[in-house]
A and B are shown apart, each in its own frame.
Chain A
Amino acid sequence: QQQVKQSPQSLIVQKGGIPIINCAYENTAFDYFPWYQQFPGKGPALLIAIRPDVSEKKEGRFTISFNKSAKQFSLHIMDSQPGDSATYFCAASINQAGTALIFGKGTTLSVSS
C-alpha cells in the first residue's frame, strides 16, 4: 500500500513557468511533510517542509500548499529556471523520534530555456 502518492511522474516547463507537483497521503497521523530535491548523481536534499498547522509555506521561489481535509499537499516553483531541473520527492512522517520518512515516487522536472 503506497502511503504517499505523487504526480505527475515527469514535467516539462519553459523558463519562467510555474510547475506544480502534487502529493496525496493516507495516514492521518502524518504531521511533517517535506519536499526533497535531487540532482543526477547526488543524494536528495531538503528543499522545504511544512507541518499541518499552516496551509502554506514559502521559501524563496518555492511554495508548499497544504490541504489537511483533502490530505493533499503540493509544491509550486515560481519563475522556474533551468537550474531547477531535477527530481523532486514529496515525503511524510510522524513527528516521533526515530520514525522514517515515507517518500513518493518522484517527479522529474525539466525546465527548458
Chain B
Amino acid sequence: NAGVTQTPKFQVLKTGQSMTLQCAQDMNHNSMYWYRQDPGMGLRLIYYSASEGTTDKGEVPNGYNVSRLNKREFSLRLESAAPSQTSVYFCAARNSGSRDEQYFGPGTRLTVT
C-alpha cells in the first residue's frame, strides 16, 4: 500500500518546454488535488477533482491543465513552462468520511530556467 505516489521526483525544464507530472493513489479515494508550495506562501491549490470525470480550478490554475484519467490517476500538465512555475508540486487524495484525512504524495521539485 504505497498511498500517493508522484513522478518524477525532480525535473529541470527550459522556459517554453512542456511536461506532465504524474500522480497515482491506491487508497480508492474519490477526490484528488494538486498543490504547489513556495517559500512563505504555504500550499496553494492549483486544480482538484472531486470525483472521477470532474475537475475544477483552484486558487492558482493559470498555466496548468489537469486530467483525471481514472479513479487512481490525476495528472498535471504544464504546456509552456515559465520560471514562475518553479516550485514543489504536491498531489493529494482524500475521501470524505469520519476522519476526512487528506494524504499527500512526496512531491515533485520542478525548476524552470
Contacts and interface: CB of A to CB of B under 8 A. Distances in A.
Contacts of B94: 101
Interface string A100-111: 111111100000
A98 B51 contact: yes
The number of chain A residues touching the other chain, given as a range, is 20 to 34
B45 A100 contact: yes
B96 A96 contact: yes
Nearest to B4: A43
A49 B99 CA distance: 9
The number of chain B residues touching the other chain, given as a range, is 20 to 34
Interface of B: 4, 30-31, 33, 35, 40-45, 48-51, 54, 58, 90, 92, 94, 96, 99-107
- 10 closest A-B pairs by beta carbon, nearest first, are A98-B50, A43-B104, A105-B42, A103-B43, A97-B96, A98-B31, A103-B42, A46-B101, A100-B48, A106-B42
Interface of A: 6, 9, 32, 34, 36, 41-46, 49, 89, 95-106
26 contacts: A6-B42, A9-B40, A34-B100, A42-B106, A43-B90, A43-B92, A43-B106, A43-B107, A44-B43, A46-B102, A49-B99, A49-B101, A89-B43, A97-B30, A98-B30, A98-B31, A98-B50, A98-B96, A99-B50, A100-B45, A100-B48, A102-B45, A103-B42, A103-B43, A104-B42, A106-B43
